[in-house]
């Protein structure tokens, strides 16, 4: 991860970093071998930098941390979930355009 504004999420820190966060939190469920995940990574990092202080952004590697991916029924990646107040308020699957992501973020910030 190139951006310092993107937090590495794990099964161990997911609750404290995402579910109990005071800020809306965008979670990117991804894997190293996933081509579309690599495609969307720069967009996720750019959004993390752009909305620093207003939005928390994290990435969870589904190959190494599966508990929350299974609980949220993540069956395809990349899967992006936006949490607010510990609840999912929006999610999507695939390498979606930045404009779509920003439009959804704006609704919840």
- Residue 3's pLDDT is 79
- Residue 16's pLDDT is 97
Domain boundaries, the chain: 6-108
Provide the 3-class DSSP secondary structure of residue 34: coil
Question: Left, alpha or beta for 73 (phi > 0: left; psi -120 to 50: alpha)?
Answer: left
Global pTM reads 0.95
**Residues of the chain falling short of pLDDT 70:** 1-2
Q: Which two tokens stand for residue 9?
A: 């999420």
Q: Which of 69, 76, 1 is nearest to 38 (CA)?
A: 1
Q: Is 34 a catalytic residue?
A: yes
Catalytic pick among 34, 41, 43, 74: 34
**CATH superfamily of domain region 6-108:** Glutaredoxin (3.40.30.10)
- Residue 25's pLDDT is 97
Catalytic pick among 37, 60, 80, 105: 37
- Other CB atoms closer than 10 Å to residue 36's CB: what's the count? 15
């Amino acid at each position: 991860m190139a951006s310092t504004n993107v937090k590495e999420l794990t099964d161990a820190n997911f609750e404290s970093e995402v579910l109990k966060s005071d800020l809306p939190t965008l979670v990117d469920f991804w894997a190293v071998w996933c081509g579309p995940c690599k495609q969307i990574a720069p967009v996720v990092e750019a959004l993390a930098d752009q909305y620093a202080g207003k939005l928390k952004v994290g990435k969870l590697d589904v190959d190494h941390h599966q508990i929350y991916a299974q609980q949220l029924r993540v069956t395809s990646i990349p899967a992006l979930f936006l949490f607010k107040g510990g609840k999912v308020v929006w999610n999507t699957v695939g390498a979606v355009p930045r404009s779509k992501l920003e439009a959804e973020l704006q609704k919840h910030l």
